[in-house]
Amino acid sequence: MHAVSVGEVEAVAPLVRRLQADHPDIPILLTTTTPTGFDRVRSLFGDRVRHTYLPYDLPPVVGRFFRRTQPRLGIIMETELWPNLLAGAARRNVPMCLVNARLSERSVRRYRRYLARLMSPAVRSLCLVAAQSAEDAAHLQTLGARPEVVHVVGNLKFDLQLPAEISADAAALRSQLAGSRPVWIAASTHQGEEEVLLSIFARLRRIHPRLLLVLVPRHPERFRRVERLCESNGLATVCLSQGLHSTTDADVFWSMQWVN
């Protein structure tokens, strides 16, 4: 099973657990692409699944991956359509499924314009496509998926089992972070977006002086840079990893690292 990073690992978790419950004798290899995805696999499953990184999509590397892992079935999350991986699976008669599948119209246009000779055979080789929506299903068929294997099943992320105590935990965190202050959350931000957000935040605080910004950069390697950016804008910054010992009145900006 392949889940590129943290979000995909979270989404595939219910499927992994169900497969382990129904087929406890079958080992599962879960691949990711990012270190944060790797960390989340370890946090969720420990040693109950094997983990490795997905190989570069080059024929010799993919071939070695198949020889070493000997998969009986491949399950790919969302949009990880790697032509050489899928071609290698087809040559070895390994069924490949695309689950929680999504594909935007923009991606379809890009694939058809630049990568049609690679992508169309790859998508056509899939034995199952479980699409998030009818629109996604149509886009994948346009790209080459066989209509008889395409099914609209919704989004796996809606099958996540949230802890029963999550509302109480959220209320406690809200109280610790902000008390009664209004909060603006900017989550999963990319490079270049923080500058825009901080400019808007400065204007909003003229109207709402007690406004608190909770900022969560998407990539961990950017945390310190974003923290320095906030400080250069004159904002008192507290990272969640430092604990919640500071009073909310003393902080006008919080930079959260990661919350599991």
The answer to whether 8 is a known catalytic residue is yes
Give the pLDDT confidence of 75-96 residue by residue, as tens digits.
999 999 999 999 999 999 999 9
**The pLDDT of residue 38:** 92
6-159 fold: Rossmann fold (3.40.50)
Given this model, what pLDDT does residue 245 score?
Answer: 52
| Residue 5, pLDDT above cutoff 60 | yes
Cβ contact 64:85 at 8 Å:
no
Nearest to 188 by CA among 106, 256, 100, 102: 256
Rounded to an integer, the average pLDDT of 146-160 is 90
- Residue of 8, 78, 194, 227 marked active site: 8
Q: Return the CATH fold of 167-255.
A: Rossmann fold (3.40.50)
The Cα–Cα gap between 240 and 258 comes to 8
Residue pLDDT, tens place only, 161-208: 777 788 888 888 778 777 788 888 888 888 899 999 999 999 998 999
Residues of the chain with CATH 3.40.50.2000: 167-255
Residues forming beta bridges with residue 253, ordered by sequence position: 213, 237
Instruction: Of 20-29, 170-179, 224-233, 251-260, give the range with the top mean pLDDT.
Output: 20-29
201 CB-contact burial (10 Å; exposed 0-12 / middle 13-18 / buried 19+): buried
What tokens appear for 167 in the block?
Answer: 């509302």
Domain with CATH 3.40.50.11720 in the chain: 6-159
Q: Tell me what the pLDDT averaged over the chain comes to.
A: 87
Better-scored residue on pLDDT, 220 or 58:
58
**Which residue(s) pair with 31 in the sheet?**
2, 52
- Report the pLDDT value the prediction gives residue 172, as an integer from 0 to 100: 84
